[in-house]
Structures are given as structure tokens and as C-alpha cells.
């Protein structure tokens, strides 16, 4: 029950962040649209995020959390504090050096990430400028990942989970400032947005540092030293750079290829933002909670508990992900048109983004499965195996993107990302199964096919609903379109709940009765 409680805490915080992120992106779409400034800003925003997820969230969480949990278990809080201070010193000064080098080498970095911009000097120069403004965000967010890892190990998930909400609050305020100042979709708007990203990183860092201080776990800045603990972190962290950041690497490859097509970077960005909602709420919540939980159970020698936790986590993940994936494939156009089509975001932009969203929807379950199965390796301090699988998936992504792009344009990039996700997920689960580290229990074997059936039946209902509400979804009044989409989403959720009850995938009535009894 505590595991589910933590899932709900992190998932609820992530949902709040994603909803605010949609408000941010809807406002951004209306103000800067999908033109050259939007392309330049999205590349500038993606660059520190790429490094953050590679060097902080991906590598750091996969390597640091199991080692910190071991220090806490074997040496107590004082030993864990010493290890934390050693890591903090190394992390801070390494990031400072990386940031300084990146600021100097930014023209080359932008050229690598978006080579298609080079043929447009104004767009390229703006991307370099905005990237220099946003890149310090990496330093702040990497330290946030460090502080969040400590809090999560102590089962204090709320503070780190709600930190991204602050990013969206700051960015919405910045967009409001742009509107008040009457700036158009030009260079000035891009500079103000980039400054907002850097400010948001600082705000989040202060919030996490305050939360850790209130918990009573104090860290001091020491001189960086290559201690045995830091060496072990590096040994695990280097493979984790690839294993934990595979999604971002694939997106970066897509950005490089998409930069050769006008507005393609923006199409992929807006589609990515939509499918990231279920991925963030479910996948990130499970990944954040599962890693420290599995690490503790393995340290305690509770093998049966580990298998039970993995089965229930997989069941929980797919119960929420499968219907979301079907919906993204079946009704992508109403989703994109209602969320973004206004102001500088045209009907043609909606059509292009819709196709990319459907392609991403195909891979959504795989991205969540990666979040479910990767912690089983990381908790055992095995980051090399996921690294090799991530490398194989990256090859599939690159080859697929180049092969499909001439025929499907930016949609081929999204489809290649999904194919790579499925390859990675299958390699992870097959390897765990062969090692005996994941064994599906009877409940999971029974429920998963029934959940898939319920999701497909729900998809048929949603498709019929979109056809019935076609006039409302295309109405000139935004309020009617929003109401129609809300009705469609609510109807889909109700249909799925009904079908899982009828098929026996989940006995909702029994679950509610048990919940009332506990209360």
C-alpha cells in the first residue's frame, strides 16, 4: 500500500506539472507558434535538458540511489552524509567545468544538435545565444537530481516530485510578461523565454535545498576527492549515461534530422509534450519510487518482495498506459487541435503534429516498460547491461529515422523513436526473465491480456465518440471545443473502467469496498 501511495504522490505531482506545462505550451504556441524563433528556443531548451538527463537524472539516479541506500544501511546516517558530501563536491565542480566549456563551445554544440540551422545564419545565431542563456539550467537541475535522490531514499518523495511545478509556474509568468509587454514572435521573446528557463532552475534548486534542510539532513561543500565511493559511482554512472538517457539520445537524433525540415523541430516538440503527459505521470512516478524500494528490499534479502513489487508495478503501469496509448493513436487530431490550434499555430501545424503524436503513441507503452524494468538492473548495481541494450536501441533509432525520413518526413523520426523504445523494453524484460530476476505471477498473466482487450474496446468507443462530436470539436468557439474534448476523455475513462470490470481485468467494486473498509 505504501508503494501505491508513493506512486500516487509522485504521479499526482507530475500530473500537476504536466497540466501546468500544457498551459505553458498552449500559451507558447499562441505567442511564438512554430517559426524560426520557436525552433531556436526549443533547441536551446533541449540542449541543457539533454545533458541533465544524461549526466544527472539518468546516470546519477541509476548509480547514486543504490549506493546511497547501501551507505545508509551499512554505515548509518553519518556514513550516508559523508558519502553525500563526497558526491556533492565532485558533482558541483564537474558541472561547473562542463558549463564553462559548453558556453565557449556553444556554436559547435548547436551545430551538432541542429545542423540544419546552419544554412539560416539568423536562426543559427539566435539558437546559439538562447542556448548560452539556458545552459546554466543544467547545473541547477543536476544538483536538484542529487538532492531529490537523497530525499527519495528517505521516502520523502513530495518535494522532489513537485519541483518541476515551479518550472512551469515561472515560465507561465514569463509568457505573461511577454504578453503584457506586447512582444511579437521575434528575437526579444526568445531571449526573455531563455532567461525564464535559467531563473526557473535556480528557483527549483532553492526549493529542494530548503526541503532537505527542513528534513534535518545537512550537507557541507567539501574539496573534491576521488574516494572509493566516488570511484564506484563513476563506474556505475558512465554506463548509466547511456542507459538512463536513451530516450533523450533518441530525441536528440530526431532533432538533428528534423532540423533540415522547416518547423519539424516544433512539430515533434508539441507532439512530444502531449505523449509525455501519461509517460510522466506513470513512467516517471514508477521509476522514481521503484529504484529506492527495490534497493532496500535487495539489501534486506527479500527476493519474494522484489518479484511481487515488480509484478504490481508492471500491472499498475500498463493499466494506465495501454488506454492512453490507444487514445493517442485513435484521436490525435482532436487532442492537438483543441490544445494548440489558435494564434500562430495553424490548421496545417495541427495536421503535421497529429501524425507525429500517433507515431509516438505506438511507443508509449514501451517507454513506460523501460521505466519499470530498468530499476531492477540499477538496484543490483548493474548499469552495463542496460547500457548495451540502450546502445542497440539507439542504432535502431538512427537507422530507422534515416530510413523513414525520406518517405514520412518528421513522422518517420517519431516512429523510429517508438521502434527503438520497443527494442529496448523487450531486451530488458527478456534478460530479467532469463536471469530469474523477473517472474510474472498468475495475477499478472491473467490481467494483462484482459487490460489490452479493455483498452481496445475503449478505443472503439472513443473513435465513435470523436465522430459523434465532430462538429463540436471543430467549433469556432474554444469553450465548445474544450468541452467536447473533456467529454470525450471522460467518456473514454468511463468506458475503460466499465470494460476492465466486465472482462475481470480489475474488480473495481471489490477494490472500492476494501478501501472503504480500511477507512
d(CA 437, CA 238): 23
d(CA 478, CA 465): 19
Residue 436, pLDDT > 80, answer: yes
Residue 451, pLDDT > 80, answer: yes
**Helix, strand, coil shares, percent, the chain, to 5:** 85, 0, 15
Residue 229, pLDDT > 60, answer: yes
- DSSP state letter for 57: I
Residue 518, pLDDT > 90, answer: no
**H-type alpha helices, 105-157:** 106-113, 121-134, 137-153
pLDDT at 515: 44
pLDDT at 371: 85
Distances (CA, A) of 496 to 75, 81, 134, 324: 48, 47, 42, 10
Number of other CB atoms surrounding residue 430 within 10 Å: 13
Give the model confidence (pLDDT) of 230-246 as tens digits. 888 777 777 766 665 56
303-330 helix and 285-299 helix, angle to the nearest 10 degrees: 170
Work out the average pLDDT over 40-54.
Answer: 74
Nearest to 60 by CA among 306, 299, 291, 395: 291
pLDDT tier at 275, thresholds 50, 70, 90: confident
Of 30-34, 424-428, 434-438, 485-489, the one with minimum mean pLDDT is 30-34
Residue 510, pLDDT > 60, answer: no
Residue 176, pLDDT > 90, answer: no
Mean pLDDT of the chain: 83
d(CA 366, CA 420): 9
pLDDT at 52: 62
Residue 15, pLDDT > 90, answer: no
Say which residue, 42 or 436, is predicted with more confidence: 436
Q: What is the pTM of this model?
A: 0.73
Residue 347, pLDDT > 80, answer: yes
pLDDT at 7: 67
Amino acid at each position: 500500500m505504501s508503494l501505491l501511495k508513493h506512486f500516487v504522490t509522485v504521479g499526482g505531482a507530475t500530473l500537476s506539472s504536466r497540466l501546468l506545462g500544457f498551459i505553458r505550451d498552449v500559451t507558447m504556441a499562441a505567442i511564438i507558434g512554430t517559426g524560426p524563433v520557436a525552433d531556436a528556443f526549443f533547441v536551446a531548451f533541449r540542449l541543457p535538458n539533454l545533458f541533465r538527463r544524461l549526466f544527472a537524472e539518468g546516470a546519477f539516479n541509476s548509480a547514486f540511489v543504490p549506493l546511497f541506500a547501501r551507505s545508509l544501511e551499512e554505515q548509518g546516517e553519518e556514513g550516508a552524509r559523508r558519502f553525500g558530501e563526497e558526491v556533492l563536491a565532485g558533482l558541483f565542480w564537474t558541472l561547473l567545468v562542463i558549463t564553462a566549456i559548453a558556453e565557449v563551445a556553444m556554436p559547435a554544440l548547436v551545430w551538432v544538435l541542429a545542423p540544419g540551422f546552419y544554412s539560416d545564419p539568423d536562426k543559427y545565431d539566435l539558437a546559439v545565444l538562447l542556448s548560452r542563456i539556458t545552459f546554466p539550467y543544467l547545473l541547477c537541475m543536476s544538483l536538484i537530481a542529487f538532492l531529490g535522490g537523497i530525499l527519495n531514499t528517505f521516502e520523502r518523495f513530495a518535494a522532489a516530485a513537485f519541483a518541476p511545478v515551479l518550472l512551469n509556474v515561472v515560465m507561465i509568468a514569463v509568457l505573461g510578461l511577454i504578453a503584457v509587454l506586447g512582444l511579437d514572435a521575434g528575437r526579444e521573446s526568445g531571449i526573455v523565454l531563455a532567461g525564464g528557463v535559467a531563473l526557473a532552475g535556480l528557483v527549483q534548486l532553492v526549493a529542494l535545498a530548503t526541503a532537505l534542510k527542513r528534513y534535518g539532513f545537512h550537507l557541507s561543500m567539501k574539496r573534491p576527492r576521488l574516494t572509493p565511493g566516488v570511484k564506484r559511482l563513476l563506474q556505475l554512472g558512465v554506463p548509466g549515461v547511456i542507459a538512463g538517457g536513451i530516450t533523450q539520445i533518441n530525441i536528440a537524433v530526431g532533432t538533428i534530422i528534423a532540423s533540415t525540415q522547416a518547423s519539424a523541430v516544433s512539430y515533434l516538440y508539441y507532439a512530444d509534450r502531449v505523449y509525455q503527459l501519461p509517460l510522466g505521470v506513470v513512467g516517471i512516478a514508477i521509476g522514481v519510487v521503484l529504484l529506492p524500494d527495490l534497493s532496500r528490499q535487495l539489501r534486506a534479502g527479500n527476493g519474494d518482495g522484489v518479484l511481487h513489487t515488480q509484478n504490481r508495478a508492471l500491472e499498475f503501469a500498463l493499466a494506465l498506459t495501454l488506454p492512453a496509448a490507444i487514445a493517442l493513436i485513435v484521436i490525435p487530431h482532436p487532442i492537438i487541435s483543441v490544445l494548440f490550434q489558435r494564434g500562430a499555430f495553424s490548421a496545417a501545424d495541427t495536421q503535421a503534429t497529429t501524425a507525429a503524436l500517433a507515431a509516438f503513441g505506438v511507443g508509449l507503452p514501451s517507454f513506460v516498460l523501460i521505466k519499470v524494468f530498468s530499476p531492477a538492473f540499477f538496484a543490483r548495481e548493474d548499469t552495463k547491461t542496460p547500457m548495451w541494450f540502450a546502445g542497440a536501441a539507439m542504432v535502431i533509432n538512427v537507422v530507422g529515422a534515416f530510413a523513414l525520413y525520406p518517405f514520412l518526413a518528421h513522422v518517420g523520426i517519431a516512429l523510429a523513436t517508438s521502434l527503438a523504445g520497443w527494442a529496448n523494453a523487450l531486451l530488458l524484460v527478456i534478460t530479467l526473465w532469463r536471469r530469474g530476476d523477473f517472474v510474472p505471477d498468475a495475477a499478472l498473466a491473467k490481467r494483462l491480456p484482459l487490460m489490452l482487450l479493455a483498452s481496445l474496446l475503449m478505443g472503439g468507443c472513443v473513435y465513435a465518440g470523436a465522430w459523434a462530436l465532430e462538429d463540436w470539436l471543430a467549433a469556432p468557439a474554444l469553450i465548445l471545443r474544450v468541452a467536447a474534448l473533456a467529454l470525450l476523455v471522460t467518456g473514454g475513462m468511463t468506458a475503460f473502467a466499465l470494460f476492465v470490470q466486465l472482462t475481470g481485468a480489475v474488480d473495481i467494486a471489490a477494490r472500492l469496498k476494501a478501501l472503504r473498509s480500511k477507512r
